[in-house]
Amino acid sequence: MSDERAFLDVMSSASAQRWVERLDNKSRNTALAISQTLDVPELIGRVMAGRGVELEAAASFLSPSIKDLMPDPDVLTDMKAATTRICDAIQNNHQVAIFGDYDVDGASSSALMSKFLSHHGIKNEIYIPDRIFEGYGPNPDAINTLIEAGAKLIITVDCGATSFEALEEAAKKKTDVVVLDHHQMGDTLPECTALVNPNRQDDLSGLGYLCAAGVVFMALVACVRELRSRGLYNESMKAPDLLSWLDLTALATVCDVVPLKGLNRAFVVKGLAVMSKQQNIGLRALMRAGRLDGPPRPYHLGFVLGPRINAGGRIGDAALGSRLMITDDDILAEEIAQQLEDLNKQRQAAEKIMLEQAVAEAEAEMRDGEGPAVMITASDQWHPGIVGLLASRLKDRFKRPAFAIAFDRNGKGSGSGRSVAGVDLGEAVRAAVDEGILEKGGGHAMAAGLTIQKDKLGDLRGFLEARLAEAVTQTRQSQILKIDGALTARSVTLDLFDMLERAGPYGQGHSQPVFAFPAHQIRYAKVVGADHVSFIASAGDGAQLRGIAFRAADTEMGQLLLNNQGHPVHLAGTLNADFWQGSRRVQLRLMDAAIG
């Protein structure tokens, strides 16, 4: 634990966190230099310096450029082979099948590749596996179905890097496969024409932070270059405007929760600008269905559009998302968007029931507030498409890695896990596969998926406890909330918010600024919706600040708000602007609170 004085002397908040100032002395000096050199407000300099932006990179950080930040695509291992095979298919008019994953990244990646092939007049089909009946990634039956339907080339996106059996089946049928993926993988490669994955062991590109759609976009850039060199483009066949598809890349980048650094920041900044023009008919319909207010921001992508697209893969037709993104039919777009809206409501209702059961099971595991290092909940009554959401909620609630597993009638379980910073869940899951505890499993540091037999559940608990307990304990003992600065209710204005947006977009790896509001009196607090807490706090000068604490009604933080009306409380959170009755306003999204 740091010896520095706690911010506002908060040693243990309602969320059991110690508040500390984000900037150290070096960062304060960098913040001042950025402010003076770029002639920007000091607050902008503080936010940038607090997220590791150095002075020499500050100017390009404020104006990220795809051209400046994207390296030659061939820096990715096997990209040249992948490009050659895709361009051969285009030049020879081969039918292509696109095999994608059932989440937002998979749907967006599939849509990008489909739009590219369709632009060149290539017949193509998107195949998204059924989450429940087929599981993740290519399988031999699906591969055979695509080949029998006429596919001469299969391109897997956001999957395929560890699909040994399925790709071996394609090789037996003499059908080429190009893999465009980003998931962690071991040394052994499946049999395929090309495997592009910045996280393969022999890739030295340094682009392991990309989502699959980012990898696909780079592949399309390489393909355009190759097709131009082959003389394909002329008056009758123009090169596609790849930049006009950056809305799909941005959507995947935000929803797959990859770090918003380097090329990813440029993808999101430029992609949001494209999305604001509402050129994609499907996304435009989904924005209307989700009642998106104002210009799209990362929050809208992650919490409005993303969950609706994911709902198709979780409890409905997994291909709905990709079909929505490629359609040019306004009527069809409205139909699919409404389907996804309805499915999302069904998902929310099912999630509420499942979460109550999962929390009850998890709390029964707690001993004197400690409990296991890794929380594992399971049921044969749960929908396997929602376990990832349960794991995320449990991780947030109990501040430790969590798994939720849905077992079928045969005792086979499909589960998802979510982790906390400093605990590599993907590596632990792969090790459990090697030990024979899991049938299948993989992922990355912060999220993982697995397949397990019910009689192995106890073995998994013991294995993860032994492997991860020390890392989880260290993480829990050092739980801190980094504060960017202190504000008062009166200082929260639209001008302040717009100023902060200059240092965005914010997301994974580039967190939103967190501000503390010292000793603000809770004037009003009540539960709204299912379990949110809405409140109004006021400073000593009478200025008021509206705020919302999401999913907090039955937490220590929510109870602190509800039980301390009329009393001063230290508040900490992020600022957000929304539209209310036709006007734009700023409110606080509460992250933590402490008695003032």
Tell me: do 177 and 46 sit in the same domain.
no
* CA distance to 196, 346, 372, per residue, from 322 (Å): 21, 20, 39
**CA angle, 49 as apex, 48 and 50 as ends, to 5°?**
90
Does a structural domain hold residue 305?
yes
| Number of domains within the chain | 3
- How many beta carbons lie within 10 A of that of residue 133, not counting itself? 7
Tell me: do 17 and 86 sit in the same domain.
no
**CA angle, 398 as apex, 393 and 399 as ends, to 5°?**
95
Does a structural domain hold residue 90?
yes
**CA angle, 512 as apex, 559 and 348 as ends, to 5°?**
55
Output the tens digit of pLDDT for each of the chain's 596 residues. Answer: 444 689 999 999 999 899 999 999 999 999 999 999 999 999 999 999 999 999 999 999 999 999 999 999 999 999 999 999 999 999 999 999 999 998 999 999 999 999 999 999 999 999 999 887 887 889 999 999 999 999 999 999 999 999 999 999 999 999 999 999 999 888 999 999 999 999 999 999 999 999 999 999 999 999 999 999 999 999 999 999 999 999 999 999 999 989 999 999 999 999 999 999 999 999 999 999 999 877 899 999 999 999 999 999 888 899 999 999 999 999 999 999 999 999 999 999 999 999 999 999 999 988 656 789 999 999 999 999 999 999 999 998 888 999 999 999 999 999 999 999 889 999 999 999 999 999 988 887 888 999 999 999 999 999 999 999 999 998 887 789 999 999 999 999 999 999 999 899 998 889 999 999 999 999 999 999 878 999 999 999 999 999 999 989 989 999 999 999 999 999 999 999 877 766 889 999 999 999 97
Q: What is the pLDDT of residue 367?
A: 66
Tell me: do 300 and 319 sit in the same domain.
yes
Question: CA-to-CA distance for 347 and 341, rounded, in angstroms?
Answer: 10
Tell me: do 450 and 535 sit in the same domain.
no
Q: By CB neighbour count within 10 A (0-12 exposed, 13-18 middle, 19+ buried), where does 412 fall? A: middle
Report the candidate in 54, 4, 2, 59 with the shortest Cα–Cα distance to residue 29: 54
CATH code, 78: 3.90.1640.30
Q: Are 535 and 522 in contact (CB under 8 A)?
A: yes
Does a structural domain hold residue 2?
no
Helix residue ranges per DSSP H, 177-317: 212-229, 246-255, 263-276, 281-289, 298-300, 306-315
Interior/surface letters 180-194, b for 16+ CB within 10 angstroms, e for the rest: bbbbbbeeebbebbb
Tell me: do 332 and 406 sit in the same domain.
no
Token pair for 8: 């506002």
Token pair for 337: 């968007």
Q: Dihedral of the CA atoms 428, 431, 437, 441 (nearest 10)? A: 70
Token pair for 322: 């990709």
CATH code, 32: 2.40.50.460
The amino acid present at 337, given as its one-letter code, is: A
Sign for the CA dihedral angle at 32, 34, 37, 41 comes to negative
- How many beta carbons lie within 10 A of that of residue 6, not counting itself? 19
Token pair for 183: 């998931």
Tell me: do 81 and 217 sit in the same domain.
yes
The amino acid present at 295, given as its one-letter code, is: P
The amino acid present at 87, given as its one-letter code, is: C
* pTM for the whole structure: 0.89
Phi and psi at residue 205, to the nearest 5°: -70, -25
Give the contacts of 392 (CB within 8 A, at least 6 positions apart).
402, 418
Tell me: do 82 and 224 sit in the same domain.
yes
The amino acid present at 371, given as its one-letter code, is: G
Q: What is the pLDDT of residue 2?
A: 44
The DSSP output letter for 318 is T
Question: CA-to-CA distance for 362 and 359, rounded, in angstroms?
Answer: 5
Of the residues 478, 506, 525, the one at which a domain ends: 478
Tell me: do 202 and 309 sit in the same domain.
yes
DSSP string, 326-368: H---HHHHHHHHHHHHHHHHHHHHHHHHHHHHHHHHHHHH-ST
Question: CA-to-CA distance for 388 and 93, rounded, in angstroms?
Answer: 40
Tell me: do 307 and 181 sit in the same domain.
yes
Does a structural domain hold residue 353?
no
Q: Are 510 and 261 in contact (CB under 8 A)?
A: yes
Does a structural domain hold residue 320?
yes
Of the residues 478, 507, 537, the one at which a domain ends: 478
Q: What is the pLDDT of residue 293?
A: 76
The DSSP output letter for 551 is T
Report the candidate in 524, 518, 534, 527 with the shortest Cα–Cα distance to residue 568: 518
Question: CA-to-CA distance for 311 and 319, rounded, in angstroms?
Answer: 11
**Which residues are paired to 379 by β-bridges?**
406
Phi and psi at residue 278, to the nearest 5°: 55, 45
Question: CA-to-CA distance for 421 and 471, rounded, in angstroms?
Answer: 10
Give the domain range for residue 393.
Answer: 366-478
Of the residues 431, 460, 478, the one at which a domain ends: 478
Q: Are 482 and 17 in contact (CB under 8 A)?
A: no
Does a structural domain hold residue 313?
yes
Q: Are 161 and 215 in contact (CB under 8 A)?
A: no
Helix residue ranges per DSSP H, 366-407: 387-398
Does a structural domain hold residue 346?
no
Q: What is the pLDDT of residue 581?
A: 66
Packed helices 246-255 and 212-229: angle between N→C axes, nearest 10 degrees: 150
Tell me: do 301 and 407 sit in the same domain.
no
Tell me: do 316 and 444 sit in the same domain.
no
Give the contacts of 110 (CB within 8 A, at least 6 positions apart).
98, 100, 126, 128, 157, 158, 322
Q: Are 104 and 211 in contact (CB under 8 A)?
A: no
Tell me: do 398 and 499 sit in the same domain.
no
The full length of the chain comes to: 596
CATH code, 388: 3.10.310.30
Instruction: Report the relative pairing of strands 124-127 and 96-100 from DSSP bridges.
Output: parallel
Longest dimension (CA), the chain: 76
Q: What is the pLDDT of residue 494?
A: 94
The DSSP output letter for 72 is -
CA 279 from centre of chain: 23
Does a structural domain hold residue 43?
yes
Token pair for 502: 């200059």
Token pair for 44: 């902008």
